[in-house]
Amino acid sequence: MKKIKNLALLMAIVLGLTFTSCTKDNTATIEEETAVAPVGIPQDVFEKAQSLHFNTFDMQKTMFEKPGGKMEEAYLLEGDIMIPHDQLMAMEFGDGITSKQYRTSNLVNDGVITIIGYTGNNSNGLTTKMINGLSWAVDNYNALNLDITFQLTYGTDYENKDMVVYQVSGGAGGSAGFPSGGNPNKWVRINSGLAPYSTNVHEHVIGHEMGHSIGFRHSDYFSRQSCGQNTNEGSAGVGAIHIPGTPTGWDPTSLMNACFSSSEDGEFNSNDITALRWMY
């Protein structure tokens, strides 16, 4: 395995109306000491999330849907990070996150990542725009000749794949998790509310959620400026570690910001590419 590196792509856009990469969240700086868990969140789960330096301000217990309709208990953090209960409790510091910062711990091994676009004849099957957006997003990553490559297929045989991209009901955006145990996050959910938007916007959202799945964080953690906010998501007392060669402030043409606009082109900017190549 390649030596562990850290990262989060510096990216964003705030043209016209803004939408979140999943759902818009109003986060606040995390308290460094352990607090009382929100209603509905077990205290041990809440403390585990804090120990991993997630921002737990708006942590929610939910259920996430797998292709075919199977439901599993999960927790939604920071707007578009959804982690199943068992995976969250098994994570160790450094598996997916060190803090809300420019770069984060990542445990994806070098090599081929098998990724499938789910095309089942049910509500989880990808639309034509989603299929095209996924193909374009994969091409964007593979064009950089990184130490990881994505091998894309379409169909319903997803159990043995590293990453599954599928549709769920919800507003414009998507959600994903972080890597663990040397593997990328498996489940990438693209919301049905994205349907009215262009294929380029689909490409952007899917590429963004793939980015989370291999370890990237929101780039505008320090302001959520892409959402029209001025809220620091919090560094959990760990700090913000800058990626060499990338800006230290607002980068309005990047991919990994918390919110996106209806005019996205779905492409990496030069700073995104610098960050990706630094990591992989």
Could you tell me the domains of the chain? 5-279 (3.40.390.10)
Residue predicted with more confidence, 17 or 241:
241
Greatest mean pLDDT among 49-53, 90-94, 157-161: 157-161
Task: With CA atoms as reference, report the closest residue to 49 among 81, 80, 21.
Answer: 81
Question: Measured between alpha carbons, how far is 16 from 161 in angstroms, rounded to an integer?
Answer: 37
Question: Measured between alpha carbons, how far is 168 from 175 in angstroms, rounded to an integer?
Answer: 10
H and E: helices and strands count for the chain: 5, 12
What pLDDT is stored for residue 251 in this prediction?
85
| pLDDT tens digits for range 5-16 | 334 443 332 223
Q: Are 177 and 24 in contact, with CB atoms under 8 Å apart?
A: no
| pLDDT tens digits for range 104-128 | 444 588 899 999 999 999 999 999 9
User: What does pTM read for this prediction?
Assistant: 0.76
What pLDDT is stored for residue 265 in this prediction?
97
Residue 230 reports pLDDT greater than 80: no
Residue 6 is encoded by which pair of tokens? 């850290």
Rounded to 10°, the helix 199-213/128-142 angle is: 50
